[in-house]
């Protein structure tokens, strides 16, 4: 296999996640078996041919024009960001202090972002864990082999989850030191909510407890023991001046706080665990529905909804079908909530899915695909490092710049690249965590479906960005709140309220800050034009004029992209002040207006390419809905 053929496989959607290229309702084992079946392949080819709603446009004069625009625009965008990052720029001295020595000769690197800096520093340790953790599992399996007296499935799950449970304690105490006790305390309290309260109270109590935990963690800064000791034994007066000094109990609390582990501020990373706690409680709540009982039984006087092979479930069934009642034990709950590969960053799995995969290793985990996924991670890491050596957008933002000193083009592209760096810094830990899980025999969903630049729909963007979180929101919040419907004005109003509730939770879950609340509400506001346009210009009325409809959609998508950039710039990049400066620079003179027209034209071209990428996927039988 040549290098280009290998890279083509590396960047195939199937390498990223088999969920993208096969139906969630079809067991992946069936997909594997169909590879060598000519009849199945012919049927698959026929299905793909039927999906070809439009002929390919890649070799048309229209797209040749787009290629010229892309060849000119993309390097120019990089040049603008690079140009304001050079030492010759008059503002360089303001942000130079945020730069570090780089590994590319003659270049410094911008690692001013605390999240990426922490990831970069801990990467060698994470790589060591990725190797050591599966090896320790093998040692565990050798020392405590499968109990031959038990059914093979139960024995295999017992062996696997016992290791995950034991490793959770070691991992958590190494990570958070004495604060691990606080984490276990919250886990225990949440488990009591799920298992001790009357069933009808569990959903409301679960949400109240976990949202309350988010606020309490933020307000009390992770509950330092020194402050807790101060409530029981306040400071005492001592010395000639009778100054207040810590009591002996407070000093002991300070001493305990010093054992903070590798990550002392455990509360910062706990938000992701909250999602798993809610997942366990609600999966357990739904499992107690009598209609779900006996779903795998093959013979019964009462007809069952499905007769399924538990060893060969589709992803959809792994999530929807409850685990056995005995599987909702405290041990399994802790093993799931503190599962080491996914504990820090996700991706997020439901409890039902985790238990199903613990019983039966997913067919989607294949060694060649896992290797290609690892190569893809390394290439993303290389791209991030190279960009940070040449574009210092993070350092510029950190230096409290006078935004009015920058032109409209510079301001806009600094913000644009800032969003890309945010995407990359989130993508890298998610990919590394998923790679670790794949090596360990668990297949969580891929979090990032597309590049942040490859999105034109606000609604579809949220299916592609932090995908496992989006799916979690749909299952545990959006659908229970009633979902969305646009059949009448009352349904529309209810749907808007649902979206506001969902994105308010999303904002608070990220961080309890006003700017993130504004970001969440802006997302909902900017969804409304898209919903209105879809209602006013339904696709079925334009079936005889596909080109005109494509152009109309593209004009609307340009507006959509501008709105999405605006919301994310406010929430994660330059804030309201920076956005105000961008708008002022654009409206200040004709050069700013000319830049806006040029930028919109470039976006128009890019969106046409996005449309065709999705049409190409449809011709291959792939529909991602994002």
| Residues acting as catalytic residues | 510
Q: How far is CA 118 from the centre of its chain?
A: 18
The radius of gyration computed from the CA coordinates of the chain, to the nearest angstrom, equals 27
Q: Nearest-CA neighbor of 81 among 423, 414, 422?
A: 414
Cα–Cα distance measured from residue 173 to residue 169, given in angstroms and rounded to the nearest whole number = 6
State both tokens at 94. 């303001």
DSSP secondary structure code for residue 322 in this structure: P
Cα–Cα distance measured from residue 55 to residue 618, given in angstroms and rounded to the nearest whole number = 11
* H or E, element range at 55: none
Q: For strand 100-101 and strand 108-109, is the pairing parallel, antiparallel, or unpaired?
A: antiparallel
Residue positions counted in the chain: 626
Is the distance from CB of 215 to CB of 270 less than 8 angstroms?
Answer: no
Cα–Cα distance measured from residue 522 to residue 520, given in angstroms and rounded to the nearest whole number = 5
Sequential DSSP letters for 109-159: E----HHHHHHHHHHHHHHHHHHHHHHHHHHHHHHS---TTS-HHHHHHHH
Q: What share of the chain is helix, strand, coil (3-state, %, to 5)?
A: 70, 0, 30
Cα–Cα distance measured from residue 328 to residue 372, given in angstroms and rounded to the nearest whole number = 35
How far from 418 is each of 182, 452, 467, CA to CA, in Å? 35, 11, 21
Give the CA angle between residues 527, 276, 153 to the nearest 5°. Answer: 125
């Amino acid at each position: 296999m040549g290098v280009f053929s290998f890279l083509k496989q590396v960047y195939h959607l199937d390498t990223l996640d088999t969920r993208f290229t096969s139906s969630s309702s079809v067991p992946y084992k069936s997909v594997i078996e169909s590879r060598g079946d000519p009849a199945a392949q012919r049927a698959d080819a026929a299905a793909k041919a039927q999906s070809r709603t439009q002929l390919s446009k890649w070799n048309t004069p229209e797209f040749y024009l787009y290629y010229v625009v892309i060849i000119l625009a993309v390097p120019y965008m990089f040049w603008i960001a690079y140009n304001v990052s050079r030492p010759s720029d008059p503002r360089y001295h303001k942000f130079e202090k945020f730069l570090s020595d780089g590994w590319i000769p003659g270049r410094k690197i911008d690692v001013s972002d605390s999240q990426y800096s922490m990831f970069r520093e801990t990467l060698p340790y994470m790589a060591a864990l990725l190797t050591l953790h599966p090896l320790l599992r093998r040692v565990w399996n050798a020392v405590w082999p499968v109990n031959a007296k038990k059914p093979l499935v139960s024995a295999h799950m017992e062996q696997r989850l016992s290791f995950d449970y034991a490793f959770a304690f070691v991992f958590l105490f190494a990570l958070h030191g004495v604060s691990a006790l606080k984490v276990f305390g919250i886990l225990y309290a949440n488990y009591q909510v799920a298992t001790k309260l009357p069933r009808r109270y569990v959903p409301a109590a679960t949400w109240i407890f976990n949202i309350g935990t988010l606020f309490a963690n933020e307000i009390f800064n992770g509950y330092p023991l020194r402050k807790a000791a101060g409530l029981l034994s306040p400071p005492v007066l001592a010395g000639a001046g009778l100054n207040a000094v810590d009591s002996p109990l407070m000093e002991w609390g300070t001493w305990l706080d010093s054992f903070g582990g590798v990550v002392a501020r455990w509360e910062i990373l706990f938000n992701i665990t909250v999602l798993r706690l809610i997942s366990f409680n609600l999966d357990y709540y739904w499992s107690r529905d009598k209609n779900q009982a006996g779903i795998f039984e093959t013979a019964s006087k009462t007809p069952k909804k499905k007769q399924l092979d538990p060893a060969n479930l589709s992803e959809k069934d792994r999530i929807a079908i409850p685990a056995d009642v005995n599987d909702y034990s405290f041990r399994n709950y802790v093993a799931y909530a503190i599962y080491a590969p996914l504990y820090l960053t996700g991706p997020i799995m439901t409890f039902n899915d985790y238990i199903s995969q613990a019983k039966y290793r997913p067919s989607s985990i294949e060694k060649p695909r896992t290797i290609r996924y690892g190569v893809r991670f390394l290439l993303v890491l290389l791209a991030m490092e190279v960009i940070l050596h040449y574009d210092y957008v993070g350092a510029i933002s950190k230096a409290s710049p006078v935004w009015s000193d920058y032109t409209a083009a510079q301001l806009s592209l600094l913000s644009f690249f800032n969003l890309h760096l945010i995407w990359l810094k989130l993508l890298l830990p998610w990919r590394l965590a998923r790679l670790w899980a794949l090596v360990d025999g668990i297949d969580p969903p891929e979090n990032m479906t597309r590049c942040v630049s490859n999105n034109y729909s606000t609604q579809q963007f949220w299916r592609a960005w932090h995908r496992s979180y989006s799916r979690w929101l749909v299952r545990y919040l959006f659908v229970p709140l009633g979902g969305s419907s646009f059949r009448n004005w009352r349904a529309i109003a209810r749907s808007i309220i649902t979206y506001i509730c969902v994105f308010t939770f999303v904002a608070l879950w990220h961080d309890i800050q006003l700017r993130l609340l504004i970001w969440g509400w802006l997302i909902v506001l900017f969804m409304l034009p898209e919903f209105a346009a879809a209602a006013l210009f339904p696709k079925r009325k334009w079936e005889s004029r596909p080109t005109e409809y494509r152009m109309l959609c593209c004009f609307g998508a340009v507006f959509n992209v501008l709105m999405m950039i605006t919301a994310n710039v406010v929430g994660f990049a330059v804030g309201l002040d920076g956005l105000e400066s961008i708008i002022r620079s654009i409206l200040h003179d004709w050069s700013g207006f000319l830049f806006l027209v040029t930028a919109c034209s470039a976006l128009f071209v890019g969106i046409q390419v996005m449309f065709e990428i999705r049409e190409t996927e449809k011709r291959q039988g792939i529909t991602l809905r994002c």
